[in-house]
């Protein structure tokens, strides 16, 4: 005897993510060419670095848009959860891609310290200002999207945004003071910020792929809450994981005092999971109280840990 509540993905929400990513891609790719020309003419490493960053981001946004489209495909007999996890894989690829971009910019910045070059501050100021507006527009487009895939794309846009701020500051300082080292210094600062964000994204993506419990949920607490429902004796074999970046799944064996009450009890347990933990996709297997158990169980007793029976 088992019951499972299956809830399909919100296709309108997925399509919304898709549109956001495509518009952000168009903005980013279009302005990357403008910044590349401006950086080459002005001699600004910060501007060239930001142009290269925006170009790689265009590739990443394209992958993210493709992943959002693939993730909307319905489940099949081969992929019973659908293809939503492709968004997590894309987020990981984007995170690794960003590490490579950071490495390239850092090497160029260190080289610039050894061999300083003249930078046309005025041109840098104008192009970087336009880049800042473009990146703000792309960030606004992605704001409100959900999932690791969109977060990975937003990470790239925020990196571009910071790059534009760095280039803008570099142009202003060079124009006002003529101090050239500010260009590679700000490039390295932006690299450090992007590096931190990339590691966070990679850590979260790997946690999903390893089927870890979502960070906002505490597995023992969920088990004790279920075990405290009237009619439930204990809970064991409790698992909580994320099939993809937009869904939380749960499975558990529920030891009940009377199997005749299971239909009513099942609805009660699903309501508790929705209300207390926002878990919509749960598979609960009932077991009679007198069945021998050799599992770790979570019951409603006032202790803080689990007991072995």
Reading across the β-sheet that carries 296-299, which strands appear in turn?
3-4, 281-288, 247-256, 232-244, 296-299, 307-308
Tell me whether residue 251 is exposed, middle or buried, using C-beta atoms within 10 angstroms of its C-beta: 0 to 12, 13 to 18, 19 or more.
middle
Last residue of a domain, one of 149, 179, 209: 209
Q: Are 252 and 237 in contact (CB under 8 A)?
A: yes
Token pair 């020309």: residue: 37
Q: Report angle CA 258, 262, 266 to the nearest 5 degrees.
A: 140
Per-10-residue mean pLDDT, the chain, length 309: 44 57 75 77 70 68 73 80 78 81 83 77 79 82 68 73 79 85 82 78 84 91 94 93 81 91 93 94 90 55 36
Please report whether residue 214 resides in a domain: no
The verdict on 141 and 288 lying in the same domain is: no
Q: Which CATH number is 111's domain given?
A: 1.20.1510.10
The verdict on 139 and 54 lying in the same domain is: yes
pLDDT at position 262, please?
Answer: 93
The verdict on 87 and 224 lying in the same domain is: no
The verdict on 58 and 187 lying in the same domain is: yes
Range of the domain at 279: 219-308
Q: Which CATH number is 231's domain given?
A: 3.30.70.1350
The verdict on 249 and 270 lying in the same domain is: yes
What distance in Å separates the CA atoms of residue 32 and residue 51, rounded to the nearest whole number?
Answer: 5
The verdict on 178 and 303 lying in the same domain is: no
Please report whether residue 142 resides in a domain: yes
pLDDT tens per residue, range 16-55: 566 777 777 777 777 777 777 777 777 776 667 667 666 6
Helix (H/G/I), strand (E/B), else coil: 299: strand
Provide the β-strand partners of residue 249. Answer: 241, 281
Last residue of a domain, one of 156, 178, 209: 209
pLDDT at position 190, please?
Answer: 74
CA distances from 35 to 43, 100, 198, 230 (A): 11, 20, 23, 64
159: its two tokens: 């990196």
pLDDT at position 309, please?
Answer: 35
Please report whether residue 110 resides in a domain: yes
The verdict on 176 and 45 lying in the same domain is: yes
Please report whether residue 282 resides in a domain: yes
The verdict on 157 and 114 lying in the same domain is: yes
pLDDT tens per residue, range 119-128: 777 777 887 7
- Name the domain count of the chain: 2
The verdict on 61 and 199 lying in the same domain is: yes
Tell me whether residue 176 is exposed, middle or buried, using C-beta atoms within 10 angstroms of its C-beta: 0 to 12, 13 to 18, 19 or more.
exposed
**How many DSSP H helices and E strands does the chain contain?**
8, 6
pTM exceeding the 0.75 threshold for the entire prediction? no
Token pair 């109280």: residue: 289
The verdict on 98 and 46 lying in the same domain is: yes
């Amino acid at each position: 005897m088992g019951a499972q509540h299956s809830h399909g993905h919100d296709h309108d929400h997925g399509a919304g993510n898709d549109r956001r990513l495509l518009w952000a891609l168009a903005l980013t790719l279009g302005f990357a060419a403008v910044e590349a020309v401006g950086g080459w003419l002005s001699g600004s490493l910060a501007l060239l670095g930001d142009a290269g960053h925006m170009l790689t981001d265009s590739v990443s946004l394209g992958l993210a848009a493709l992943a959002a489209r693939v993730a909307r495909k319905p489940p099949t007999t081969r992929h019973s959860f659908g293809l939503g996890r492709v968004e997590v894989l894309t987020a990981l690829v984007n995170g690794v891609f960003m590490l490579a971009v950071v490495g390239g910019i850092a090497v160029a910045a260190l080289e610039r310290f050894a061999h300083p070059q003249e930078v046309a501050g005025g041109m840098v100021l104008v192009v970087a200002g336009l880049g800042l507006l473009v990146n703000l527009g792309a960030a606004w487009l992605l704001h409100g999207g959900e999932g690791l895939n969109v977060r990975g794309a937003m990470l790239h846009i925020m990196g571009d945004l910071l790059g534009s701020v760095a280039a803008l500051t570099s142009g202003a300082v060079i124009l006002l003071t003529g101090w050239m080292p500010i260009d590679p210094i700000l490039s390295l600062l932006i690299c450090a910020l992007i590096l931190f964000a990339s590691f966070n994204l990679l850590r979260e993506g790997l946690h999903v792929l390893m089927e870890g419990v979502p960070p906002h949920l505490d597995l023992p607490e969920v088990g004790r809450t279920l075990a405290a429902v009237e009619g439930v004796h204990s809970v064991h074999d409790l698992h909580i994981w994320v099939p993809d970046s937009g869904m939380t799944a749960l499975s558990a064996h529920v030891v009940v005092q009377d199997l005749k009450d299971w239909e009513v009890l099942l609805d009660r347990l699903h309501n508790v999971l929705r209300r207390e933990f926002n878990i919509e996709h749960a598979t609960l297997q009932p077991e009679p109280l007198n069945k021998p158990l050799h599992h770790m169980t979570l019951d409603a007793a006032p202790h803080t840990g689990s007991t072995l029976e």
